[in-house]
Amino acid sequence: GGADIECDVLVLGAGPGGYSAAFRAADLGLKVVIVERYATLGGVCLNVGCIPSKALLHVAAVMDEVSHLGDLGVEFGAPSVNIDKLRSHKEKVIGKLTGGLAAMAKMRKVTTVRGYGAFVGPNHVEVEETTGTGQEKTGSKKVVAFKTCIIAAGSQAVRLPFMPDDPRVVDSTGALALQGVPKKMLIVGGGIIGLEMGTVYSTLGARLDVVEMMDGLMQGADRDLVKVWEKMNKGRFDKILLKTKTVGATATPEGITVQFEGLDGTKSEGTYDLVLQAVGRTPNGKKIAADKAGVAVTDRGFINVDIQMRTNVPHIFAIGDIIGQPMLAHKAVHEAHVAAEVIAGELQGNKELASSAFNARVIPSVAYTDPEVAWVGLTEDQAKAQGIKVKKGLFPWTASGRAIANGRDEGFTKLLFDDSPEAHGHGKILGGGIVGTHAGDMIGEIALAIEMGADAVDIGKTIHPHPTLGESIGMAAEVAHGSCTDLP
Ligand code: FAD
């Protein structure tokens, strides 16, 4: 009683997790309401994440590719960049996709309620209407009653407490706003997001410094993949500070002066026109009054779920960044489908649907830098650390006709197969990594091979088209199997 709207499923947040859950639930015949504070659907990924970053990275990659052509006998003049036009290109890309989502929601009769949602009980969310960018609340409130709920409220960038409140200090959202091109830019945090944004800005003309607490950039990827990226990208950087903490910063008329402290105690500082904070993302779990519904939230703001995406409250589910690492859109989408199917199955008494579960073996990661770095499953570093015996198949792109023809043979493809005694020489593929152009577009094949339990013969005997970069996956398998004899 007392609710303005009633539904089978309330989805809190309209990112890749939220809209995917809403669409699947609606397709399965349920009455669905999405609550979203932003004006558009798509969440971080479409509005201020995956998509705008890739729109800009595409332009950067073309500019870099063109600059390589000098060696091949084709010269262009220096690029002239119209930043307003470039920004509006990015906005158009976002608009196309978020507009498409709105149309798909309408077609499925999914109701969208604009505003900030918070639980007021185990079956009710109160939504306070928002306007503008989603930060301003109008005070107008609605209550939505639900039978079941899927929390997909995502995450936001971590802010360093000592960073001055200054337009020259940005997070990834501020960097994507592309207000201009700084001369000197600092990236705090050498992970994928920081390095992708750094790639864009440096191609547009900025000089980069990067500071990272760990002993290497792009943590999570095998070091030999990252080495290739480093070799190709060192020209973008004045300084790569590793094992170094950022400890303070002050705003001055000349720029943002940032203090660093090495883990060995070395102190230094630098002054920058733009500082990008890319030190990770924090889940929004503590901002939705989850306790009012009895949903447990960890100290760090995550919500724990089982493999059906169920929280400690049986009719409330959670998906995406808010349930934990890896914080990736494709993970959120798969979790979304599971939650929607379980709910539909239970509400409709369909046992098969109700038994849906998230049991993917692997989730691929990609840095959309130039070259791209992509990996999935066990990495060689992890195999070493865990004492897992693997057989490696490495195919250098210096032996790939296509890579050579492209003038981009710096990459390689690496596959790892189980080499434990129990595998009897027919070990299944456990992981793989690719560094090189288009690596991200190829890593899905390795993920499929892992899901299917393929061994080196399966992959090596699969005919890949020649000449393609994807052929390198078949060749790497042949190398592992010992049947590749025509390498230089
Ligand atoms: P989100 O996308 O965070 O969506 C949550 C939504 O909930 C938001 O729209 C938010 O406004 C809304 N919301 C939150 N709380 C409330 C509330 N109380 N009331 C109403 N609405 C609320 N991932 C990839 O896989 N590939 C990439 O290339 C990639 N690039 C990225 C680049 C950048 C710069 C960033 C920042 C992230 C990138 N990611 C990428 C990560 C990806 O964006 C996230 O993993 C993904 O968006 C998570 O989806 P989600 O549905 O869990 O949450």
The full length of the chain comes to: 488
Q: Which helix (H) or strand (E) holds 232?
A: helix 223-233
Contact between 326 and 191 (Cβ < 8 Å)? no
Query: For residue 483, what pLDDT band results from cuts at 50, 70 and 90?
Result: low
pLDDT tens digits, 450-470: 999 999 999 999 999 999 999
Query: For residue 488, what pLDDT band results from cuts at 50, 70 and 90?
Result: very low
What mean pLDDT is predicted for residues 191-195? 98
Token pair for 1 = 């009683």
CA 135/CA 169 separation, integer angstroms: 19
Q: Which residues contact 152 (CB under 8 A, 6 or more apart)?
A: 11, 12, 13, 14, 15, 17, 18, 21, 43, 318, 319, 320, 322, 332, 336
> Is 486's pLDDT higher than 70?
no
Q: Is 171 in the pocket of ligand 1 (CB under 6 A)?
A: no
Nearest CA to ligand 1 atom 18: 117
Q: How many CB atoms lie within 10 A of CB 261?
A: 15
CA 238/CA 211 separation, integer angstroms: 11
Q: Is 190 in the pocket of ligand 1 (CB under 6 A)?
A: no
CA 467/CA 344 separation, integer angstroms: 46
Q: Is 19 in the pocket of ligand 1 (CB under 6 A)?
A: no
DSSP string, 39-81: SSSSHHHHHHSHHHHHHHHHHHHHHHHHHHGGGGT---PPP--
Atom of ligand 1 nearest to the CA of 327: 45
C-alpha pair distances (Å), 440 with each of 54, 76, 93, 217, 388: 12, 28, 20, 18, 26
Best residue among 44, 56, 119 to mutate for probing ligand 1's pocket (most ligand atoms within 8 Å of CB) is 44
Query: For residue 174, what pLDDT band results from cuts at 50, 70 and 90?
Result: very high
What mean pLDDT is predicted for residues 103-128? 98
Phi/psi of residue 414, each to 5°?
A: -130, 130
**What is the predicted pLDDT for the residue at 136?**
85
Token pair for 368 = 């959309």
Q: Verify whether residue 466 is a known catalytic residue.
A: yes
**What is the predicted pLDDT for the residue at 72?**
86
CA-based radius of gyration for the chain: 24
CA 49/CA 45 separation, integer angstroms: 4
DSSP string, 316-340: EEE-GGGG-SS--HHHHHHHHHHHH
pLDDT tens digits, 2-49: 899 999 999 999 999 999 999 999 999 999 999 999 999 999 999 999
Nearest CA to ligand 1 atom 53: 154
* Range with the poorest average pLDDT among 147-151, 374-378, 417-421, 482-486: 482-486
**What is the predicted pLDDT for the residue at 308?**
98
Atom of ligand 1 nearest to the CA of 16: 51
Nearest CA to ligand 1 atom 46: 329
pLDDT tens digits, 206-240: 999 999 999 999 999 999 999 999 999 999 999 99
Atom of ligand 1 nearest to the CA of 176: 34
pLDDT tens digits, 381-401: 999 999 999 999 999 999 999
Cα of 339 to ligand 1 centre, how many Å?
17
Q: Is 303 in the pocket of ligand 1 (CB under 6 A)?
A: no
**What is the predicted pLDDT for the residue at 347?**
98
Cα of 321 to ligand 1 centre, how many Å?
7
Read off the amino acid at residue 482. G
Cα of 14 to ligand 1 centre, how many Å?
8
- Residue 221 CA to its chain's centroid (Å): 14
What mean pLDDT is predicted for residues 400-422? 96
pLDDT tens digits, 248-258: 999 999 999 99
| pTM strictly above 0.80 | yes
Residue 351 CB burial class (10 angstroms; 0-12, 13-18, ≥19): exposed
CA 356/CA 461 separation, integer angstroms: 33
Q: What percent of the chain has pLDDT over 70?
A: 99
> Is 1's pLDDT higher than 60?
no
Q: Which residues contact 411 (CB under 8 A, 6 or more apart)?
A: 228, 371, 397, 403, 434, 435, 436, 437, 439, 469, 472
Bridge partners (DSSP) of residue 36 are: 114
**What is the predicted pLDDT for the residue at 244?**
98
Nearest CA to ligand 1 atom 3: 154
ipTM: 0.99
Q: What percent of the chain has pLDDT over 90?
A: 95
pLDDT tens digits, 310-359: 999 999 999 999 999 999 999 999 999 999 999 999 999 999 999 999 99
